[in-house]
Chain A
Amino acid sequence: MNSVHDMGGMHGMGAIQYEKNEPVFPEPWEARVFALNRAVRAWSKWTGDASRHAVELIPAPEYLRMSYYEQRLHALVELMVKSGLVTRAEVESGKLAPGSPKATPALVASDVPGMVAKGKPATREVPVPARFTVGQQVRARNLHPTGHTRLPRYVRGKPGTIYLDHGVHVFPDTNAHSLGENPQHLYSVRFAARDLWGDQASARTAVYLDLWDDYLEHA
């Protein structure tokens, strides 16, 4: 979706605010939001792509106003309500719905080291042919899906070159919407800065994006 999270190339966002020796979690509640997100994800009620999309669905003015972990809190609540883990009335009142069953946590403390060290690979061992080869000239398709996509606006319609083939990866545009993993080749695609930004850009600069087969067409 063409919302404000897709901000590559925008002006007007101000100076970079750098803090020396910034703590990992500047506020204790931010640490709790981070951990709640990871722990609830262990229920496997939604994908990581759906989590990203839930953040993108925050209305643009709110997205810009909220701090990072406030956005994640908002997205977590929306996903938990949508998936039925909690009801909105429970979140708003802070009280259990009458007759609510007591679950057993999907993630306990002793599971944490293993979960952290293992991760969740996005590659799939399926024989999907690659549509493009390294060195080939391509063009990013001019797509404007209203759902989740990882094809930023600033490369749509622009010519690039396949730099690497990362193999077969889960496709976020379908995976975010429970429409299947649709695994396909993912490539690192090199875009010359001048093809993206015109002659004002340096001829010695390039931007590399990881883009799936379905985002690309022959140049």
Chain B
Amino acid sequence: MREAKQDHSHQAVPSDLALRVKALESLLVEKGLVDPAALDALIDTYEHKIGPRNGARVVARAWVDPAYQERLLSDATAAIAELGYTGGQGEHMIVVANGPKVHNLVVCTLCSCYPWPVLGLPPVWYKSAPYRSRAVIDPRGVLREFGLELSEDVEIRVWDSTAEVRYLVLPERPTASEKLSEEQLAVLVTRDAMVGVAKVELPQTGASL
């Protein structure tokens, strides 16, 4: 895994792209096909309201509430809706649990399917060719690229999102986290852990939660 350049030049964006989009939006507004305020509302929703904090709350609840965890693993769509997370790209949810001998990894080899209500929109790496191509043939190598080395006796399950079912990984609760509250646990849960490319770690000693 390489650190992407901050200037996004790897995307090879043609300089006229922003102008083309602006011209298209103006045309569609002029034709009455789209409402610019609806565009702003959609962007605001996915920039500020729907994101991996939702999924983190689901995971933390499952860690502290065994009955909730059971519901989450048997009917994820309903259990996630209990916390208020529903809708587009999360209509049919499955939650898969990591354990000491099982590790789950989610990918969409054909496009970019991702559980929006709990994770928001996918990051660039998830939608890009390197991850999509290799997650299914070399998951252990991909995880190593993310800095996650799994021992050889851990079973890896890769979930290729080929239909409208969306997958969320329930990571293992970190050891020695018994004293943390549900809210404190939720802060530790990362997007990457819920896709399956990382584990949830306790902060370094001395760091504040």
Contacts and interface: CB of A to CB of B under 8 A. Distances in A.
Interface of A: 5-20, 22, 24-29, 31-36, 38-40, 43, 52, 55, 64-65, 67-68, 70, 73, 77, 85-86, 90-91, 94-96, 100, 102-109, 111-113, 115-123, 150-152, 154, 164, 166, 169-170, 172, 186, 188, 196-197, 201-202, 204-212
B91 A119 contact: yes
Contacts of A27: 8, 13, 18
Main SS of the interface on chain B?
mixed
A24 B37 contact: no
29 contacts: A8-B133, A9-B109, A11-B133, A11-B134, A16-B142, A16-B145, A17-B124, A19-B4, A19-B124, A20-B3, A22-B4, A22-B123, A24-B47, A29-B18, A34-B121, A40-B33, A64-B129, A70-B17, A85-B33, A105-B35, A107-B38, A111-B38, A116-B45, A117-B86, A119-B88, A166-B165, A169-B92, A169-B164, A204-B152
B130 interface: yes
A12 B11 CA distance: 17
A73 B20 contact: yes
Interface string B164-192: 11000000000000000000000000000
Nearest to A13: B129
Interface stretch (B23-31, B54-62, B65-73, B199-207): B23-31
B109 A8 contact: yes
Given A103-B32, A207-B158, A210-B163, A32 B21 contact: yes
Contacts of A117: 86-87
A16 B128 contact: yes
Q: What bracket does the count of chain B residues touching chain A fall in?
A: 35 or more
Given A7-B129, A13-B134, A154-B136, A35 B91 contact: no
A65 B13 CA distance: 9
A94 B125 contact: no
Contact of A24 (B41, B46, B164): B46
A28 B12 CA distance: 16
Nearest to A10: B133
B136 to A, nearest CB: 5
Of the listed residues B2, B17, B152, the one surrounded by the most CB atoms of chain A closer than 10 A to its CB is B17
Given A29-B17, A90-B27, A9 B137 contact: yes
A61 B136 CA distance: 23
A39 B42 contact: yes
A185 B34 CA distance: 36
